Structure 1
């Protein structure tokens, strides 16, 4: 594994630096990191229901992404751009975290070519191919991408059509470990067709985007012979959203519908992964999201995410699932570099089964933090935070302290940055 990673790193570096030398262009360097130290009554920090209660003071890992890209060719309106990204995640518990024993996991997240200037009639449209994050739509304070069809693929992006632009992509995102009976043939090939239209502005300060994602399971002949879960149907996810400038910030409303293996995304806070682990032949789901960032005063601002999700028949034994989650983060800027942050979150989820029984989940989280950042804007990063978080299981289950208590405290320091 280490040899493979070293070989990949050397190959990427050699390709980018040699191409950079020939094209006499700079290398773009981007990335993301989060890391820190924390403690709780359970020993190390406890991370619980982050995507429903909020991430502030509720993240335990060390995670990083390093991205290198370069425009390797440019002549008149035609350009070729190469992009690459690797990632690393670990629990941050040791000095030397390697791939041995899975202390750290490394991944190839992006490796693609983007060509601009060759689409007839639109010099700004992009032809692309390779592996990439594809137009991900993010809810930062709950660390959720609610519209995320990423992977290896190809497409045409941002082709002008009327008042907006259309994008079309074919992307692969396989499902893993579906059936233990099929040795060495567990992965199921899933292909997505993604069509989007963005840029429509029905009135001043508004922005509309709509799209359809069509997922097509493509099992091998061996997998088909086993039937069962491998007989999964094609699924569809429809997304529509409208954003509005508001008081110097914005508010966004998102409405989604999904069926078959995509339906569970409406209650799992997913962005488009296909469920091959359950019988989803009758599954349907809906989701409504309201989110926004509103500057209340010059120093005080508020970010919120409200999610309501509903899904039916997402497993062979589940009749319906309902989810509601609300997270708000308030920030007060004491100086250009010092800020106070408070985040509160709550959720409730109920699964009702075909036999009439049900399973309820709920919880709350409250976090206060003092932070240092490189500017007064709400999303300015890098940021270093000292925090304290209180988490409680709303169903009074013994979720924490080695399954002896229904609540716990987290204390720690975390840094977060993107560049």
Structure 2
């Protein structure tokens, strides 16, 4: 208990530091230093014990409001060198990050290096050259914390050209990332090409993605080399109080990643069990993300996500006769609504449904979750931070999911049930 108190105190001090440094810059002639970051921390309980997450089996994504049983922080330091015209010529950024589940004492270890990279700006036609380890132009659905495009996170090294301007027709971006697996010679490589912000009208734009990936043979885990590719695009619309993004992405082979929090290739074997055959596997995603915010009375985000994943292997009967392909379907739909009472106070309601089906395990069912929170905020705005959230959450799930939802290493009280309640207090801030 004492260690948990120290954890909360440490994260609170981190938050205070962030507020003090928010939007602050130190300028010394041609040199500029700045600090930015992100933090969420709090306390919570589920079923009379340590707070747990309510998320569907085999999915790490969930509707976040009142449903994040962890502390997480990022702190980034930036150096920029400017010329006499105040144009950024050189940049260096370093970011540390730390993730601690509720109930864990893992606060003594030093935060990991999440980003460390340098940039030379305006090398060719305003294009920037970068090299290092970085979060490379991540795209997400904030309500789900679902990074549907995240090519560079956890890379060992990357290099790229970004923002190469095409006259009146958007910009081109090209990057190459290298990933390392364990303490052996297994590596994977991802080439990422993007054509961004191709104008369709005054308010809408098209974006295109093409990737090629390669993973070499792992002699320790005895997995073959594999290759893969991704093709996709997204349409964005932004006008007055509305923003909307519609996305379609197809992935094949080694371009299928472990999760939305890394660009690493999905492992073929876990604890000696064959999970994927990458050369035969594929994934198809459809994402819609809509936000309306008048910053006076109402704000709402609506998200719809569908993912079909073919694992590349087949089910067999008792005689080892190959049957249907093993696949997984995930469908998620939900909303978060804010009613502004004034600049610093709003009422938030979030509700969502997740459906999951896996024809290998035979697991099929759904999870419903609803949260209410009277939020204390810094200003009007759906994305305004910092925000302090007292919350209460109710979740209900299919009987087939019993024992698979509502548990953690620190609380197993809900594992025999098909519903649960969480309540607590969360602070979230970015700057």
User: TM tier, shorter chain?
Assistant: 0.7 to 0.9
Unaligned runs of 5+ in 1: 1-19, 100-104, 177-183
Unaligned runs of 5+ in 2: 1-25, 269-275, 316-324, 407-412
SS of 2:415's equivalent? coil
Q: CA-to-partner distance for each residue in 1:377-410, whole Å, 9 max, x for gaps?
A: 1110000000000112223524442522111100
SS of 2:279's equivalent? coil
1:238 aligns with 2:243: no
Judged with a 3 Å threshold, the aligned counterparts in structure 2 of structure 1 residues 237 and 344 are, in CA distance, closer, same or farther, namely same
Aligned-residue offset at 1:321: 1.7
**CA–CA separation in structure 2 for the residues paired with 1:147 and 1:55:** 19
1:274 aligns with 2:280: no
Judged with a 3 Å threshold, the aligned counterparts in structure 2 of structure 1 residues 298 and 368 are, in CA distance, closer, same or farther, namely same
**CA–CA separation in structure 1 for the residues paired with 2:88 and 2:71:** 39
Query: Which of 106, 114, 117 is equivalent to 2:119?
Result: 114
1:406 aligns with 2:406: no
**CA–CA separation in structure 2 for the residues paired with 1:75 and 1:295:** 39
Q: CA-to-partner distance for each residue in 1:262-289, whole Å, 9 max, x for gaps?
A: 3477xx6677541122322211221110
**CA–CA separation in structure 1 for the residues paired with 2:264 and 2:106:** 33
Query: Which of 71, 77, 92 is equivalent to 2:80?
Result: 71
For residue 358 of structure 1, what is the aligned residue in structure 2? 362
Aligned-residue offset at 1:128: 0.7
**CA–CA separation in structure 2 for the residues paired with 1:284 and 1:330:** 35
Judged with a 3 Å threshold, the aligned counterparts in structure 2 of structure 1 residues 115 and 282 are, in CA distance, closer, same or farther, namely same
1:39 aligns with 2:49: no
Aligned-residue offset at 1:260: 1.1
For residue 428 of structure 2, what is the aligned residue in structure 1? 416
Matches within 5 A, 1:203-214: 203-214=201-212
SS of 1:281's equivalent? helix
**CA–CA separation in structure 2 for the residues paired with 1:94 and 1:315:** 36
Matches within 5 A, 1:24-103: 25-41=31-47, 43-49=49-55, 51-74=60-83, 79-93=89-103, 97-99=107-109
Judged with a 3 Å threshold, the aligned counterparts in structure 2 of structure 1 residues 279 and 261 are, in CA distance, closer, same or farther, namely same
SS of 2:277's equivalent? coil
For residue 320 of structure 1, what is the aligned residue in structure 2? 327
**CA–CA separation in structure 1 for the residues paired with 2:262 and 2:353:** 21
For residue 102 of structure 1, what is the aligned residue in structure 2? none
Matches within 5 A, 1:265-344: 272-277=263-268, 278-295=276-293, 298-315=296-313, 317=315, 319-344=326-351
Aligned-residue offset at 1:42: 5.0
**CA–CA separation in structure 2 for the residues paired with 1:326 and 1:78:** 42
TM-score under structure 1 length normalisation: 0.82
**CA–CA separation in structure 2 for the residues paired with 1:291 and 1:161:** 27
For residue 139 of structure 2, what is the aligned residue in structure 1? 137
**CA–CA separation in structure 2 for the residues paired with 1:64 and 1:78:** 27
For residue 176 of structure 2, what is the aligned residue in structure 1? 170
TM-score under structure 2 length normalisation: 0.80
Aligned CA-pair RMSD? 2.5
**CA–CA separation in structure 2 for the residues paired with 1:299 and 1:256:** 35
For residue 150 of structure 2, what is the aligned residue in structure 1? 148
For residue 128 of structure 1, what is the aligned residue in structure 2? 130
Equivalent residues of 1:67, 1:86 under 8 A apart:
yes
For residue 380 of structure 1, what is the aligned residue in structure 2? 384
For residue 17 of structure 1, what is the aligned residue in structure 2? none
For residue 198 of structure 1, what is the aligned residue in structure 2? 196
Aligned-residue offset at 1:147: 0.3
Aligned-residue offset at 1:362: 1.8
Equivalent residues of 1:80, 1:114 under 8 A apart:
yes
**CA–CA separation in structure 1 for the residues paired with 2:308 and 2:101:** 33
Judged with a 3 Å threshold, the aligned counterparts in structure 2 of structure 1 residues 306 and 272 are, in CA distance, closer, same or farther, namely farther
Equivalent residues of 1:156, 1:168 under 8 A apart:
yes
1:157 aligns with 2:162: yes
Judged with a 3 Å threshold, the aligned counterparts in structure 2 of structure 1 residues 172 and 75 are, in CA distance, closer, same or farther, namely farther
**CA–CA separation in structure 2 for the residues paired with 1:51 and 1:340:** 27
**CA–CA separation in structure 1 for the residues paired with 2:65 and 2:233:** 28
**CA–CA separation in structure 1 for the residues paired with 2:98 and 2:73:** 5
